Chains A and B, each alone.
Chain A
């Protein structure tokens, strides 16, 4: 970004976008995170991972959570999923406090966690089967979702026969087959290469547009967050707390062209300053000794 480029404020929105946010806030609240705090008592001392996290997720909203590494993003999503417990505050799903994991909150993990002994179809059938659905019913259900993620040719393959992107699509189908109230995703595309990642973002966007889901998505990729999210929850580190909740000032659905629109760049710049410290501190500087010959300087 050159200095001379004049960017609009990321807070300014077109009337249509303003209107959309107004409508979002009128929808019922699916997930209500109130005063959440988490302190780990580890062997090497006490770590306060999260402090006083407040936000609400509305129906059909796409929320991204970003923040520097170690700020507690995974801790937050694990608490939302019920895999971990908060030390203070509460999580409410549709007004009911959650305690423990359940099929109403689907989770997609970074490392896929597909069951290696089950075929793609059986993996996707897992949720419906756990609900007690008949085999035939679950199978039909699974087929529907496998088709949705474009893997019908692979329904009888085992996970280790699939590429990373395909595995993650199976994981998404497996979660959706349960028709959860909210889908929680912890850096689901973090292990994928850039091209697959872009493709997966497009897939996820299509799914979100066409399926009745609410998504909470963790990432450390700023562009990914702006491309996908209605709102971005930015976390600060040590302890993890909310720095700002940003309403992305771009109309949905976004296209790859939006990546260079002024509003996108303005939002991106704001996220940059929130996440990265504005200037290099003296303690961040490495103790460098010049080790090059005089003619070899890079600049």
Chain B
């Protein structure tokens, strides 16, 4: 029987093709909305960008004014027989169009900092990554063993958990002033904030993961002669490892959240400093680019770890379906390549046309060329191909 699976089948995986399409759509839809708001005139565009101030004292060329203000000022000017201001409708400065952000994405790396001695964008980013890594690893080095102890031995659970439960409700940024007083204004307090933000959660999460291990495995190991030490090393540790790894992935995400607050404590630094700095200068295209950079680094990190886990834990049942990473990689690789390839073909065809006076030689090439627009459909095929080749 040939059952066509529904898009909305309860607790059933979609076909890889549909899944990839939706995963792409989850990125493309927001992009589409953003593009519509940016490019389609009169959807929103509540401001007027002044192109000529006329005789107004208020208007400044190149600045944005609300439509109401623009209209009333012009009415006044016309009534007084003066030259009205001119301009066109735009979005507020805090909503740059996609292409501006995309441009900022590349330009921002090449733009020197405002004042000499300030870090370049890539230096800021690298600084942020270092802060994250120090904060996260220092909390993992202590938090993971403590969590495993608490999850394994009730004594440690009772000793650690009540106090940790108490602290974890205190927001990490609240410790900011204290950290600066203790650790100075440089990287110390920033790492400390990330440590505070992740460590306490980590102990509890790891303890819980440890407790979720099937007791049957421990009992089986005991009847096979495992000592207490062996139980911990040969059963509990390998048994919780995949879940522990996943916990770390999620907690690393939390560390990124704390980063932004952490970097504004003391002497601000890193990517947050960059974003703040650009915001102050009204370069919102750069602000968006900065925010997205964090998102992209986070996503790539996370997806890389997810991909890596299938190699680390070969005993886990194969989770079928394309990972986000391969979809994104597929989309990035697929679009430009196809596009360039197509352009190359077109150019080659044109050249061939120009060279041969007769049009016979050029014909097959131009017949073979298809118009570019790669639909989601084609792109999903690209994703699927990338998936096969990677996994």
Q: Which residues of A are in contact with B by a Cβ distance under 8 Å?
A: 81-83, 100-103, 105-107, 109, 111, 113-118, 126-127, 129-131, 158-160, 174-175, 178
Residues of B within 8 A of A106 (CB): 223-224
Please give 16 more A-B residue pairs, beta carbons under 8 A apart, in addition to A103-B225, A118-B315: A81-B223, A82-B222, A83-B219, A101-B219, A101-B222, A106-B224, A107-B219, A113-B216, A113-B220, A118-B238, A126-B234, A130-B225, A130-B226, A159-B315, A160-B315, A175-B223
Q: In the docked arrangement, what's the CA distance between A109 and B221, Å?
A: 12
Residues of B within 8 A of A126 (CB): 221, 224, 226, 234
Q: In the docked arrangement, what's the CA distance between A126 and B239, Å?
A: 14
Residues of B within 8 A of A158 (CB): 314-315
Query: Does A117 contact B238, Cβ atoms closer than 8 Å?
Result: yes
Q: Using a CB-CB cutoff of 8 Å, which residues 201-246 of chain B contact chain A?
A: 214, 216-217, 219-227, 230, 234-235, 238-239, 241
Query: Does A117 contact B313, Cβ atoms closer than 8 Å?
Result: yes
Query: B317 at the A/B interface (Cβ < 8 Å)?
Result: yes
Q: Which residues of B are in contact with A by a Cβ distance under 8 Å?
A: 214, 216-217, 219-227, 230, 234-235, 238-239, 241, 313-317
Q: In the docked arrangement, what's the CA distance between A74 and B168, Å?
A: 42
Query: Does A127 contact B225, Cβ atoms closer than 8 Å?
Result: yes
Residues of A within 8 A of B238 (CB): 115, 117-118
The smallest beta-carbon distance between A146 and chain B, in angstroms, is 16
Residues of B within 8 A of A109 (CB): 216, 219-220
CB-nearest residue of chain B to A174: B224
Q: In the docked arrangement, what's the CA distance between A256 and B216, Å?
A: 33
Residues of A within 8 A of B225 (CB): 102-103, 127, 130-131, 178
Residues of A within 8 A of B223 (CB): 81-83, 101-103, 105-107, 175
Residues of A within 8 A of B224 (CB): 103, 106, 126-127, 130, 174-175, 178
Q: In the docked arrangement, what's the CA distance between A226 and B128, Å?
A: 71
24 CB contacts below 8 A, A to B, read A81-B219, A83-B222, A83-B223, A101-B219, A102-B223, A107-B219, A109-B219, A109-B220, A113-B216, A113-B217, A113-B219, A113-B220, A115-B221, A115-B238, A116-B315, A117-B238, A117-B313, A126-B221, A126-B224, A130-B221, A130-B226, A130-B234, A158-B314, A159-B315
Residues of A within 8 A of B220 (CB): 107, 109, 113-115
Residues of B within 8 A of A129 (CB): 234
Residues of B within 8 A of A178 (CB): 224-225
Candidates A83, A101, A113, A117; contact of B315 at CB < 8 Å: A117
The smallest beta-carbon distance between A187 and chain B, in angstroms, is 13
The smallest beta-carbon distance between B223 and chain A, in angstroms, is 4
Q: In the docked arrangement, what's the CA distance between A103 and B221, Å?
A: 9
CB-nearest residue of chain B to A171: B220
Interface of A is mostly: loop
Residues of A within 8 A of B217 (CB): 113, 115
Q: In the docked arrangement, what's the CA distance between A103 and B222, Å?
A: 8
Q: In the docked arrangement, what's the CA distance between A146 and B122, Å?
A: 57
Q: In the docked arrangement, what's the CA distance between A159 and B314, Å?
A: 11
Residues of A within 8 A of B214 (CB): 113
The smallest beta-carbon distance between B80 and chain A, in angstroms, is 84
The smallest beta-carbon distance between A229 and chain B, in angstroms, is 22
Residues of A within 8 A of B222 (CB): 82-83, 100-101
Q: In the docked arrangement, what's the CA distance between A105 and B223, Å?
A: 7
Q: In the docked arrangement, what's the CA distance between A117 and B233, Å?
A: 13
Query: Does B239 contact A115, Cβ atoms closer than 8 Å?
Result: yes
Q: In the docked arrangement, what's the CA distance between A288 and B84, Å?
A: 92
CB-nearest residue of chain A to B242: A117
Q: In the docked arrangement, what's the CA distance between A114 and B317, Å?
A: 15
CB-nearest residue of chain B to A131: B225
Query: Does A160 contact B219, Cβ atoms closer than 8 Å?
Result: no
Q: In the docked arrangement, what's the CA distance between A109 and B222, Å?
A: 13
Query: Does B216 contact A160, Cβ atoms closer than 8 Å?
Result: no
Residues of B within 8 A of A117 (CB): 238-239, 241, 313, 315
Q: In the docked arrangement, what's the CA distance between A206 and B222, Å?
A: 27
The smallest beta-carbon distance between A260 and chain B, in angstroms, is 37
The smallest beta-carbon distance between B293 and chain A, in angstroms, is 37
The smallest beta-carbon distance between B22 and chain A, in angstroms, is 28
Q: In the docked arrangement, what's the CA distance between A114 and B220, Å?
A: 8
Q: In the docked arrangement, what's the CA distance between A21 and B281, Å?
A: 97
The smallest beta-carbon distance between B316 and chain A, in angstroms, is 8
Q: In the docked arrangement, what's the CA distance between A178 and B220, Å?
A: 12
The smallest beta-carbon distance between B268 and chain A, in angstroms, is 45
The smallest beta-carbon distance between A82 and chain B, in angstroms, is 8
Q: In the docked arrangement, what's the CA distance between A35 and B316, Å?
A: 45
CB-nearest residue of chain B to A157: B315
Most chain A Cβ neighbours within 10 Å, of B224, B230, B314, B317: B224
Q: In the docked arrangement, what's the CA distance between A115 and B240, Å?
A: 11
Most chain B Cβ neighbours within 10 Å, of A116, A174, A178: A116
The smallest beta-carbon distance between A59 and chain B, in angstroms, is 20
The smallest beta-carbon distance between A264 and chain B, in angstroms, is 33
CB-nearest residue of chain A to B220: A113
The smallest beta-carbon distance between A76 and chain B, in angstroms, is 15
The smallest beta-carbon distance between A164 and chain B, in angstroms, is 15
CB-nearest residue of chain A to B238: A117
Closest 9 CB pairs of A and B: A103-B225, A101-B222, A113-B220, A158-B315, A107-B223, A127-B224, A130-B225, A113-B216, A117-B238
Residues of B within 8 A of A160 (CB): 315-317
Residues of A within 8 A of B216 (CB): 109, 111, 113
